């Protein structure tokens, strides 16, 4: 076989091998932001959410977003918020610039908070910056709702 015939085969092997490396990479690794540890892989977070029967809190952010920084400094250091999120939700953070392959309908800016049932169905979304009290009320409401649904089954 000539070298020209091997080039497509080699390219295919490189593509397949790079996919395998991605699969072995620590995608399920958690990232600490303020006082919370976030999943950084949405697929893994959905699997954890299904296993634990906890709703999913998806936080869309970017490093360059001033409102994201304000929200994180206020909310992710608040003991009440941290406790409720840690105990009642599977939490995942999506950096919209670093993880461009992840798209959700209606997420057009950051910060953007999205709440999902373990099956991926949307519960509620909070586009843009929200103050601590609004965020605390929302997560309390969703935690109570999903605990109530779990108790009914």
Q: How many other CB atoms are there within 10 angstroms of residue 146's CB atom?
A: 19
* Contact in structure between 48 and 90 (CB atoms under 8 Å): yes
**CA–CA separation, 111 and 96 (whole Å):** 10
Residue 103 — pLDDT band, cuts 50, 70, 90?
low
C-alpha 84: how far from chain center: 16
Q: Is the pLDDT of residue 96 over 50?
A: yes
**CA–CA separation, 125 and 116 (whole Å):** 9
pTM passes above 0.85: no
pLDDT tens-digit series, residues 111-137? 999 999 988 899 999 999 999 999 999
Class of the CATH domain delimited by 28-152: alpha beta
Q: Domain ranges in the chain?
A: 28-152
| Predicted local confidence at residue 17, as pLDDT | 43
**CA–CA separation, 134 and 65 (whole Å):** 20
């Amino acid at each position: 076989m000539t070298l020209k015939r091997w080039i497509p085969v080699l390219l295919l092997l490189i593509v397949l091998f790079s996919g395998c490396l991605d699969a072995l990479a620590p995608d399920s690794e958690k990232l600490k932001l303020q006082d919370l540890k976030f999943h950084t892989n949405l697929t893994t977070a959905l699997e954890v959410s299904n296993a634990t029967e906890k709703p999913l809190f998806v936080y869309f952010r970017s490093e360059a977003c001033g409102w994201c920084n304000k929200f994180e400094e206020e909310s992710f250091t608040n003991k009440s918020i941290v406790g409720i999120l840690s105990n009642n939700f599977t939490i995942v953070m999506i950096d919209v610039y670093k993880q461009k392959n992840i798209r959700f309908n209606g997420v057009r800016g950051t910060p953007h908070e999205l709440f999902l049932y373990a099956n991926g169905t949307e519960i509620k979304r909070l586009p843009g910056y929200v103050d601590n009290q609004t965020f605390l009320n929302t997560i309390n409401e969703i935690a109570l709702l999903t605990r109530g649904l779990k108790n009914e089954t």
